Amino acid sequence: MTDTDTDVAPVLPVGPPRTPSRTGRRAWILTVLLVVFMMINFADKSVLGLAAEQIRQDLGLSASAFGLASSAFFLLFSVSGAAVGLLADRVRPKWLLLIMAVLWSVSQAPLAVGGGLAALIASRVLLGAAEGPAYPVAQQTTLSWFPNHRRNLPGALIVLGITLGVLVAAPVLTWLIDHHGWRSAVAAVALAGVVWTLLWIPFGGEGPYAAAADIEPPAEAASEDVRGTGERTGTAGREQATMPYRRILATRTWIGVTIGYFSTYWVIAFALVWLPSYLRDGLGYSSAASTRLLMLFWGLSGILVLGQAGLTGWMLRRGIASRWARGWVGGVLLLVSGVSCLVLPVVPAGALAVVLLAGAFGLSGAMGSIAATTIMELAPAHRRGGALGIMNAVVTTAGLIAPTLIGSLVDTHGVGGYQYAVLITGAVLLVGGTAAVTLINPARDARLLYV
């Protein structure tokens, strides 16, 4: 018997019973805190991309060496994501999130004051290990405050934190980099982690739908079970803790979501590390214009994430199966994004190229929210942390592969390497979109798990 097949001793919540009004207020306070958590998370990630030219000049790095340093962030990212995801089914996510935020700041403090390539790589490896579990644990914690049919908006807001992190970070960190050097930007994001930690200690916690709470959900949730919203109670709920992870990972839905989200993360890694350089060196935009375009693409992504949440919620409330409301909505966005990438290299610079860039880098982000809410619908409560963590571990290997591959292409082919990178990204997105459309069906697979 493997570790992933063992039973889990549930952790009972403590403290006074939650009233509906108290639960509702605290649910949104926690959601806002975790949106800020994800903002800091992606501000950390974006520093290297925004400061790419300064770092390469300061440390004397080739494109391949810089790509390697960027990929070092993902060396332990996936491993820690899976390990802590499994741990989140046993340990209160509140403390896991706290430890992550502390490590973010600790890992960046030495780089803020000095060091060369070795310090840069060491800092990024430790930071990656600490940030690997951030998204799945943040989603698990946020969604533990909401029943299935109400999870689309809070899940989307956590993804929106990614967009807001880049939108806020891009102008602020660019200003710091231009006026005070790239190390000042590293110091700023490290300080942000400290501030968030101080806020999380008194306010953090899990909700009444927490994976670790082996209790009967509130009356609202009990009625939702009758309506088929995916919250299981009674005997089925007691069986959740003994279900092996391998059964969940073998479902078509888990596989389809993972492939689809992998393609999204490929785009995220490209955008964070190489898109600023691609806009400047590959397409000839100035530094200021590149920053404005980056904000446009990330802003579009944020709008679409919220739009997808609204559309999916509307479809679910009208009885449309999640196969269509989640799988097809996410899959179509990935397919359109992939086609935009494939057309982009043959279009001259201009308005059409900007539209295609927006399609290529702005449409796929909604899959992150869809992936989390789909896994929460699919997996039993006591297996959600592991199912999310293992998915995230597989998905984020894209962050290890993409920056290194693109750096190698740029070193080999010069600015033409960016065109090859965009074409490869288009192919990855088409595979992800096809998998999402054809494989995702959480309602069906959730039923099959109990057959």
Dump pLDDT digits (tens) for 172-198.
998 999 999 999 999 999 999 999 999
> In this predicted model, what pLDDT tens digit does every residue of 299-316 receive, in sequence order?
899 899 999 999 999 999
Q: What pLDDT does residue 23 have?
A: 62
**DSSP secondary structure letter of residue 153:** H
Q: In this structure, is residue 9 part of a structural domain?
A: no
What is the secondary structure of 333-376 as a DSSP string? HHHHHHHHHHHGGGSPSSHHHHHHHHHHHHSTTHHHHHHHHHHH
Given a contact cutoff of 8 angstroms between Cβ atoms, the answer to whether 443 and 322 are in contact is: yes
Q: Say yes or no to pLDDT of 264 above 60.
A: yes
pLDDT tier at 224, thresholds 50, 70, 90: very low
Q: Which of 271, 319, 280 is nearest to 429 (CA)?
A: 271
Q: How far apart, in Å, are the Cα atoms of 290 and each of 161, 275, 368, 451?
A: 21, 9, 25, 53
Q: In this structure, is residue 229 part of a structural domain?
A: no
Q: In this structure, is residue 140 part of a structural domain?
A: yes
CA atoms within 13 A of residue 347's CA, in its CB half-sphere: 17
Q: Mention every residue, 6+ apart, whose C-beta is less than 8 A from residue 410.
A: 63, 67, 274, 277, 417, 418, 421
Backbone angles phi, psi at 73, to 5 degrees: -55, -35
* Phi/psi-derived region of residue 207, left when phi > 0, alpha when psi is between -120 and 50, beta in every other case: beta
Q: In this structure, is residue 223 part of a structural domain?
A: no
Q: Tell me the mean pLDDT in the region 127-133.
A: 93
> In this predicted model, what pLDDT tens digit does every residue of 370-420 receive, in sequence order?
999 999 999 988 898 899 999 999 998 998 899 889 999 999 999 999 999
> In this predicted model, what pLDDT tens digit does every residue of 28-48 receive, in sequence order?
999 999 999 999 998 998 888
pLDDT tier at 222, thresholds 50, 70, 90: very low
Q: Which of 378, 375, 369, 373 is nearest to 388 (CA)?
A: 375
Q: What is the CATH number of the domain that holds 414?
A: 1.20.1250.20
Backbone angles phi, psi at 57, to 5 degrees: -70, -45
Given a contact cutoff of 8 angstroms between Cβ atoms, the answer to whether 308 and 428 are in contact is: no
> In this predicted model, what pLDDT tens digit does every residue of 317-352 receive, in sequence order?
999 999 999 999 999 999 999 999 999 999 988 899
- For the chain, the distance separating the N- and C-terminal CA atoms, rounded to the nearest angstrom, is 21
Q: What pLDDT does residue 21 have?
A: 53
Q: What pLDDT does residue 136 have?
A: 92
Q: In this structure, is residue 347 part of a structural domain?
A: yes
pLDDT tier at 238, thresholds 50, 70, 90: very low
Q: How far apart, in Å, are the Cα atoms of 322 and each of 226, 357, 369?
A: 17, 29, 13
- Residue span of the structural domain in which 312 resides: 25-203+244-448
* DSSP E strand stretches across 90-175: none
> In this predicted model, what pLDDT tens digit does every residue of 269-278 receive, in sequence order?
999 889 989 9
**Dist. CA 301–CA 362, nearest whole Å:** 4
Q: Tell me the mean pLDDT in the region 280-298.
A: 88
Q: In this structure, is residue 18 part of a structural domain?
A: no
Q: What pLDDT does residue 24 have?
A: 83
Angle formed at CA 192 by CA 187 and CA 195, multiple of 5 degrees: 130
**For the chain, percent of residues with pLDDT exceeding 70:** 88
The whole-chain average pLDDT of the chain stands at 86
pLDDT tier at 241, thresholds 50, 70, 90: low
Query: Angle of helix 152-180 relative to helix 182-203, nearest 10 degrees?
Result: 150
Q: In this structure, is residue 152 part of a structural domain?
A: yes
Q: Say yes or no to pLDDT of 19 above 80.
A: no
Structural domain total, the chain:
1
Q: In this structure, is residue 238 part of a structural domain?
A: no
What is the secondary structure of 195-229 as a DSSP string? HHHHHHHHH----TT-TT--SPPPHHHHHHHHHT-
Task: Extract the tokens encoding 82.
Answer: 């899976």
**For the chain, percent of residues with pLDDT exceeding 90:** 59
Q: Say yes or no to pLDDT of 64 above 50.
A: yes
Q: Which of 72-76, 138-142, 209-213, 343-347 has the lowest mean pLDDT?
A: 209-213
